[in-house]
Amino acid sequence: MFAKAKTQLLQNFLTELLKGKPEPGVLPKPVLDKNFQSNVKGLYIIGDLAGAPLIKTAAEQGILVVEHFASEMNGRMGEREKGRKGEKENGDEEVLDVVIAGAGAAGLSAAFAAHEKGLKYTLLEQGEVANTIGIFPRGKIIYGEPVAQPMSGPLWLPAKSTKEELLENWNGHVQKTGLSLRTRESLKKIEKNGVFTVQTDKGRYKAKHVVVAIGKFGNPRRLNVPGENKRKVSNYLSNPEEFRGKKIVVVGGGNVAAEAVLALFEHNEVTMLVWENEFVFPNKEYVERMLQAQQQGKLTIHFNAVTKEITDDKVIFERAPTSFDKSFKGKSGRMEVANDHIFVMIGQELPTKFFKEAGIKLEAQWDVSRWLMLALSFIIVYSVFAIKGYFWPFNLLPQESYQLWGVSPSFWYGTIYTLLMLGFGIPAMIKWGKNNKYQRYRFLSLISVQVVLLYALPELIYHLVFNDPNYWRWYGLTFAWPLFFNTFFDNPPLFFVIWGIFLAFVALPIFVRYHGKRYCTWICSCGGLAETFGDRWRHLAPKGVRARRWEIMNWPILIASAGITFLIVLDVKNFIVESWKLKSWYSLFADTWLVGIIAITLYPFFGGKVWCRYWCPLAKYMELLSHWFGKLKITSNDKCIQCGECSRYCEVGINVMQFARNQQEFSNKNTSCIQCGICIAVCPMEVLKFSNQ
């Protein structure tokens, strides 16, 4: 019991420390393999929950997943034939080939594919066909993006149509095909005991495979306050014309809430309750229109407003003062507003309870196995680095014990480091650079710099061939101060002094002016390991306002490295440095523990940029320079669909989607962007691009 409580406390601490309040577009996903299969064998998750932000990509997933398990069934033809005839379990229950939950683009495409292949299936939907599209406002335009990508399967999707046209066509095709569809039937539970048992609110089904395509939109986030289940509470607004002369409250501060407010305020008495102390998430155009309506007395907006209770005729909330709201007029504390109808539009939640009951794992889910993996990761990384640095417990034996073929452990550490970058960097280059020239060149640069300048030159040539005891100084050819902390220490040769000054105070500022912090993602070996070996975990980078606030930690490290360097250069070491051993303590703390052990240990848990983002003094130095006079930035057009992929894959936790949605440029003047360009690469709508203008 104590161990369980301790584990929960640690989990809560990490969540509070690194993640903070969830932001739109950065919800975790289920753990899936390349065929969209979850950790539960035979259970597949597709569509919005699997990161398919567009109708075309969702439809393609539906077809691919059915083709995958159908091909496996072809290898067991006898089983498949039995299934098509209606296999029985315990002599009374039919076992289907597949149950598909969710009749959106992904689920419909999967059902059409199963129907075409002659599989025994059924399609479940808690509402009506394409329910998410159906609850859009009347006349909503649906775009068939990306235009260049063909639509997979039989679903109709032109370049542009209204929601009514799309729904009419899809429903017509469902009826014409004769899909085995059951609407108004909600998925409740999935269990597996040999085959799957799928429980709904109307019955149960047995199946060999289950495809979950329920999306996020059907699971709105709740306020968890008294009265939330009253009939006057809604989460969607499909027809504003139904509301005239009503007293309406809209809870929420995002685009969906803003769209509802703008559709209702002209003909109703509308009050908006926003959690934040200002508008953070809506489009800039929406914000301007709402503030204008507020100034005209047509709309009431309460910021820092937390809903407490919903009664039959009013909404009770608490409000704190905020400087942003000019109409505040000193009102705070518990307040209430008369109300006929309330819209709660505070985003969506993952069906975590459903996932837990089904045994489906989520990314970054802290269970016993994840804690054990963290411990194992630490032991491995510590052991490798401890042998290289020759410290406890390896310093209990003679140092010669750890030499292989007469070569020091530090050489083999560099060899392992380089092999990791090669082994993981080439697949990453293929993955991201397949259709993106920028990513091909970026990964090629990282790998080449590591192999040639940070391995062959110092380790192979000067270490092995020339047996130079100062071979380590050649790392300073690429590593700039203050990352390479030892550049100016231990009586350096004049060449390295001149080069170190030039690199850190001339070349790097010029580079930063036009390329921002690209050094981190094109040249640096620390960033190189994060971009290659750590690539598979980039989506786990801590997100949220609180996580970004912790980036302040690299300020004291930058100040410490600069201060110690100047003390040594000014030759006051006998007074301060040697007596307090500042240089040794800094090297142990930063070079050994932070960058060498802790950061790499945390790659699989918090992404590859833990060191670069939170502790690296060079990253902060470049960010400071770029903030002052850097020109590189990322701009966006008006095509953002708020899928959140850009924010999800940002290794330094930037809420990229917020900038893209508002067509607001971002750079090192307002973020810690490292200009890796992955947000540009993953955007399905080609919204983002680099600019030096």
SS (H, E, C) 262-323: HHHCCCCEEEEECCCCCCCCCCHHHHHHHHHHHHCCCEEEECCEEEEEECCCEEEEEECCCC
Domain at 29-212, CATH homologous superfamily: FAD/NAD(P)-binding domain (3.50.50.60)
Q: Given this model, what pLDDT does residue 58 score?
A: 94
* DSSP helix/strand/coil, 437: helix
H or E element that contains 13: helix 2-14
Within 10 A of 38 (CB to CB), how many other CB atoms are there? 22
- Closest by CA to 283, choosing from 587, 651, 636, 673, is 636
pTM exceeds 0.85: no
- Note whether 18 and 613 are within 8 A (CB): no
Q: Say which CATH class 233-344 falls into.
A: alpha beta
Q: Given this model, what pLDDT does residue 633 score?
A: 97
Instruction: Report which residue type is found at 466.
Output: F
Q: Given this model, what pLDDT does residue 291 score?
A: 95
Phi, psi of 309 (to 5 degrees): -160, 150
What average pLDDT values come out for the chain (693 residues) when binned by 10 residues?
44 44 68 95 94 90 96 67 48 85 96 96 93 81 85 92 93 95 94 95 96 82 91 89 94 90 95 88 86 95 92 91 47 85 88 89 90 96 92 85 85 96 97 95 98 97 93 95 88 92 97 98 96 95 88 94 84 61 87 94 95 96 97 93 89 92 92 97 94 89
Q: Where are the domains of the chain?
A: 29-212, 233-344, 368-633
Copy the structure tokens of residue 9.
């406390």
Residue 211, by phi and psi: left (phi above 0), alpha (psi -120 to 50) or beta? Answer: beta
CA dihedral sign, ordered 649, 654, 657, 663: negative
Distance CA 503, CA 511 (A): 10
Distance CA 488, CA 205 (A): 72
For residue 170, give Cα distances in angstroms to 92, 157, 342, 487: 35, 9, 32, 67
Q: Given this model, what pLDDT does residue 8 score?
A: 47
The alpha carbon of 429 is separated from its chain's Cα centroid by a whole number of angstroms, namely: 20
Q: Given this model, what pLDDT does residue 385 score?
A: 93
In three-state form (DSSP H/G/I as H, E/B as E, the rest C), the secondary structure along 503-567 is HHHHHHHHHHHHHCCCHHHHCCHHHHHHHHCCHHHHHHCCCCHHHHHHHHHHHHHHHHHHHHHHH
Q: Given this model, what pLDDT does residue 643 score?
A: 84
Count of residues for the chain? 693
